[in-house]
Structure 1
Amino acid sequence: MEGVRVFHVDAFTTTAFGGNPAGVVPNAEGLNKKEMQLIAKELNLSETAFLTTSSSSQADYQIQFFTPTKEIDFCGHATVGAAWVLGTMYQLATKKDQVVFETNIGIVPVQFMVENDNLHSVLMTQVEPSVKTISTDLTELVRYVGIKESDIDSQYPVRLGYTGNWHLLIPVKSRNAVDEASPKLDLLKEHNERHHISTTHLFTFDCEEENCLVYTRDFAPAFGINEDPVTGSANGALSGYFILEGILDVSKDHHFQIAQGHSMGRPGFLQVIIKVGNDRPVIQVGGSAVITIAGNLLARR
């Protein structure tokens, strides 16, 4: 593994040490899954993305995602981080309008949004959204996530949402209740593993940030991550839920901002575009990123 190039990228932020940090290995050719897992464990970030040559004619790269403990099928903020590294450090944004990734859950294109010859943000198109009900009693769920049943915003249903991973989406009345949530992580981990749920995502429309529609927090103990600061996959699933459950007007497109990470001291913002011009809504999630560390892995095994 000697000489492997590694980047540390803060996604969904324009400020270093904000947003959600991800590892990116832009040239992972020659690494096997065991070695990728070791690198992800060494970096000790919520996810690390590994890029290799894709065998698909539809994609530029294959991208694989590892937490410190296991491989996962999709990660939004690491996808943003990988696209940002390619667009800036490898100048791909000066050559192409987008980069296309082959993931375990399908093809994910990411547009480069360039202003004045500089990469301003990236915008990924997630796979088709879907929702389904969950059988767990609400009394149990609120105990697992550490809020009161009176904190639940009953205007909106509790659902599982998907744009690559299944996320438990729980509507909450106030930002204060979201911030004060204190989940019982062992119980939440067991529950989510049993139901094949990636993360538990609390959301509220009580968002004081400028131009912000929703404020969220995300817990992922099933993947060894107590709390993830700013989550592209979960917020993509949430955005699909808004349309599929009729919470947002299904007759028009939507463009809004989601705030997350503030309770962790890593504030971040996601830009969401929902296109409803056909039978299947298209969910696009994007933002900016900051590369904070670039280096080479020197150790060998």
Structure 2
Amino acid sequence: MKEFKFKKIDAFATVNSMGNPAGYISLDSFSDITDKEMLQIAKELKGFVNEVGYIVKTSADEFELKYYSAEREVDFCGHATIAIMYDLLKNDIDLQQFDSLKIKTNRGVLTVENKIKEQDAVFIQAPEPFEKALLPDSKDIAKNLKIEINEIDPDFSVSIINAGLTTLLVPIKTQVSILNIFPDIDELKEFCIKSEIDIIEVFTKDVSNKSNNFRTRVFAPTFGYLEDPATGSGNSAFGNYLLGCKLWETETIIIEQNSFKDQYNIVKLQKQTDGKGDIRVFFGGGAVTRMEGKYIIQ
């Protein structure tokens, strides 16, 4: 029998929304748990949380993270990172002295900005992005999303960008169209696997609150569930898309995300220049702890 410290934390939650649930296992060392056991926990928590993050502290201001869905190990999970790092910075007085922390992930070493005092939030540097040239046909995209081809907005391009996860970005004309997308999980999973993508993010400039910039929804059938209600990696891919198209017009981009018109989650994007002179996307938000205890596996 093994026993681990466990929390269930909802990332990107607001007073009007539930956020995105993540499991959080704190470890002294990754030698304390096997890959099989990490996957087992994620499978047991399917339907309760979308992914489980596992974290080890490696120095005073550095950590290593691994992520699992019910299906497989995930290279990077934005909402789990927000949940875990927000919880650590919010509750650890020693960590609060640092303006930033470093986290080691499968997608490289990333910066975590401590904005707890100023914004009650943390901002995570998205992994370095890369773009995929080969795109699925728009008719095939519409068919698998179960929308009409004319609902795809011709004023924006379809694109595939990886900023943590390989993300198909699909522009939609109206919020009404976005909110009425109800694909079949098995058909969409087959389409994603065939297209070699992890998730699909649909977006529109048609928002519920005019002080926000975009509405998005994210579908993640390859991870064992249909919709991700608030995402860091998907919206970071979207942020890099906006940079590439020269459509990033404000200092901070505020994104409404999920399938509810007025009870949406909020994801914020900011941009900064790194040490190499490249503009990097940071995604940010807060989190709410819903459950804390011990997780036992046998």
CA distance in 1, matches of 2:261, 2:174: 17
Which ranges of structure 2 fall in alignment gaps of 5 or more residues? Answer: none
> Which residue in 1 is equivalent to 2:280?
282
Shift of 1:92: 4.7
Shift of 1:136: 1.7
Alignment of 1:186-197 (within 5 A): 186-197=186-197
CA distance in 2, matches of 1:174, 1:296: 44
Question: Could you say what secondary structure the match of 1:271 adopts?
Answer: strand
CA distance in 1, matches of 2:265, 2:187: 28
2:258 aligned with 1:258, yes or no? no
> Which residue in 2 is equivalent to 1:294?
292
Closer, same or farther in 2 for the Cα pair 1:125/1:204, shift >3 Å? same
Shift of 1:14: 3.5
Closer, same or farther in 2 for the Cα pair 1:196/1:104, shift >3 Å? same
2:56 aligned with 1:52, yes or no? yes
RMSD: 2.4
Question: Could you say what secondary structure the match of 1:230 adopts?
Answer: coil
User: How many percent of aligned residue pairs carry the same amino acid?
Assistant: 27
Aligned residue pairs: how many?
293
CA distance in 1, matches of 2:66, 2:265: 24
Alignment of 1:57-72 (within 5 A): 60-72=62-74
CA distance in 2, matches of 1:267, 1:2: 38
Please identify, of 30-39 and 16-25, the stretch whose mean Cα deviation from structure 2 is larger: 16-25
Shift of 1:264: 9.1
The one-letter code of the counterpart of 1:286 is G
Q: Is contact 2:185-2:225 (8 Å) kept?
A: no
Please identify, of 275-284 and 233-242, the stretch whose mean Cα deviation from structure 2 is larger: 275-284
Shift of 1:8: 0.6
Question: Could you say what secondary structure the match of 2:160 adopts?
Answer: strand
Q: Is contact 2:205-2:214 (8 Å) kept?
A: yes
Q: What does the per-residue CA deviation read over 1:156-213, in whole Å, with 9 as the maximum and x for residues that have no partner?
A: 1100012121100000000110000121322221121123211011000101224210
Q: Is contact 1:58-1:107 (8 Å) kept?
A: no
> Which residue in 1 is equivalent to 2:216?
216
Q: Is contact 1:64-1:104 (8 Å) kept?
A: yes
Closer, same or farther in 2 for the Cα pair 1:5/1:15, shift >3 Å? farther
> Which residue in 2 is equivalent to 1:171?
171
Closer, same or farther in 2 for the Cα pair 1:300/1:271, shift >3 Å? closer
The one-letter code of the counterpart of 1:77 is H
TM superposition score normalised by structure 2: 0.90
The one-letter code of the counterpart of 2:54 is F
CA distance in 1, matches of 2:195, 2:267: 27
Question: Could you say what secondary structure the match of 2:226 adopts?
Answer: strand
> Which residue in 1 is equivalent to 2:161?
161
Alignment of 1:5-84 (within 5 A): 5-15=5-15, 18-27=18-27, 29=29, 30-44=32-46, 45-54=49-58, 60-84=62-86
The one-letter code of the counterpart of 2:264 is P
Shift of 1:266: 6.2
CA distance in 2, matches of 1:246, 1:211: 20
